């Protein structure tokens, strides 16, 4: 619910009356009554590693994790509390965590090479994000290719304003590009992705930047916007003849291709590469540029199929060893399924929150 409200009405909706926003939502969708509300919550940390029925302890943990996801968790909490206030406490609320899909990453993929005592003290690890999107892409692909035993090996690419890539082996993530925060990994619309940590301390000294200013620079002023100096909109950059705009697109695609090659090595090959997200689903030129030069590993793209990709569609050539798919990401369907699973577990006598110390089966 929190994600839908923010996408439909904008983050500025927090400044509006929650009652008005929720009333508009119900009127728009023709809803007379709500029994359950499911929320995509970006950061669940190590404790909230499965979907949960919201209770006071779950809510407190989401609040605490706001320090790790300051742009996201507080927004989710706003809508959780608004729904309780406006629709009443009888509406059951379920939190589905974007980090949960990556909760069991192998140690080699999740541990940072910093002093281990600091990692333990501050719960520092690579959490991974966009878990719902990657899980949804893999599940949809599996349903389209049921003859591949176990679900196969897949590299999924979620390319939108935020971007990430995941290596998935038989439904289990083996690695992902986002780490401790959603800032790590691929170049994004306004986020830098990977940079040398030494660059951060250098700029801090040279420019006298505060931690808050550094956060803003790396999260809001970098990526496509930072390099082009003009726009974070990939469509606008593709149409531009400006050299920096073209360079921004080239770096974006180069970095995605580099991660793709690395994850093919992690998996020892793959059955499929999947593109999802606003950029991944809707811009054929970006898919082609990312896959350019990947013929060596058995990837070949059918240019005509790629141009008309609409809905789940295989856009690789018939001779390709690795399939290439465009799969629209349906997080709402996954949220609904997770909410049903949590409520069924609760009805079977296992509480889905944290108040009694039990986890759910979501």
**Positions marked active-site:** 98
CA 109 to each of CA 27, 112, 260: distance values in angstroms, whole numbers, following the listed order: 46, 8, 15
- Tokens representing residue 181 in the block: 């925060």
Place of tokens 């030129």: 285
Answer for the pair 110, 125: CB distance below 8 angstroms, yes or no. yes
Q: Tell me if residue 222 falls in helix, strand or coil.
A: coil
Largest CA distance in the chain: 62
DSSP 8-state secondary structure symbol assigned to residue 13: G
Answer for the pair 237, 251: CB distance below 8 angstroms, yes or no. no
Q: Which residues pair with 155 in a beta bridge?
A: 167, 273
Parallel/antiparallel/unpaired status of strands 92-97 and 36-41: parallel
Task: Report which secondary-structure segment, H or E, holds 174.
Answer: strand 172-176
DSSP 8-state secondary structure symbol assigned to residue 193: -
* Alpha-carbon gap, residue 329 to 196, rounded angstroms: 31
DSSP 8-state secondary structure symbol assigned to residue 176: E
Place of tokens 């006598």: 349
Number of CB atoms found within 10 A of residue 61's CB: 20
Answer for the pair 238, 285: CB distance below 8 angstroms, yes or no. yes
Task: Report which secondary-structure segment, H or E, holds 97.
Answer: strand 92-97
């Amino acid at each position: 619910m929190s994600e839908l409200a923010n996408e439909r009405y904008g983050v500025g909706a927090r400044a509006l009356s929650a009652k008005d926003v929720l009333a508009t939502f119900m009127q728009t969708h023709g809803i007379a009554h709500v029994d359950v509300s499911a929320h995509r919550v970006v950061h669940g940390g190590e404790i909230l590693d499965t979907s949960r029925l919201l209770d006071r302890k779950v809510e407190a943990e989401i609040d605490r994790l706001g320090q790790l996801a300051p742009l996201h968790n507080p927004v989710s909490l706003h809508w959780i509390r608004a729904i309780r206030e406006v629709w009443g406490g009888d509406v059951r609320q379920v939190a589905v965590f974007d980090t949960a899909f990556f909760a069991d990453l192998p140690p080699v993929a999740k541990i940072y090479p910093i002093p281990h005592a600091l990692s333990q003290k501050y719960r520092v690890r690579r959490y991974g994000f966009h878990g719902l999107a990657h899980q949804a892409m893999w599940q949809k692909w599996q349903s389209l290719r049921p003859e591949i035993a176990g679900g196969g090996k897949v590299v999924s690419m979620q390319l939108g304003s935020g971007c990430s890539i995941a290596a998935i082996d038989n439904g289990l993530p083996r690695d992902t590009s986002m780490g401790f925060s959603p800032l790590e990994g691929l170049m994004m619309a306004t986020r830098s992705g990977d940079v040398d940590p030494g660059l951060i301390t250098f700029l801090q000294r040279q420019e006298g930047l505060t931690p808050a200013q550094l956060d803003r620079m790396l999260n809001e002023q970098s990526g496509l916007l930072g390099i082009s100096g003009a726009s974070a909109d990939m469509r606008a950059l593709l149409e531009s003849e400006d050299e920096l705009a073209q360079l921004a697109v080239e770096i974006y695609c180069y970095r995605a291709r580099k991660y793709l090659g690395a994850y093919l090595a992690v998996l020892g090959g793959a059955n499929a590469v999947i593109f999802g997200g606003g950029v991944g689903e809707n811009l054929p030129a970006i898919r082609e540029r990312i896959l350019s030069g990947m013929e060596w590993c058995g990837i070949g793209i059918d240019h005509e199929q790629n141009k008309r990709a609409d809905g789940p569609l295989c856009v690789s050539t018939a001779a390709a060893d690795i399939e290439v798919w465009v799969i629209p990401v349906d997080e709402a369907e996954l949220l609904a399924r997770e909410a049903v699973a949590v409520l069924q577990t609760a009805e079977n006598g296992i509480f889905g929150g944290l108040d009694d110390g039990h986890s759910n089966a979501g």
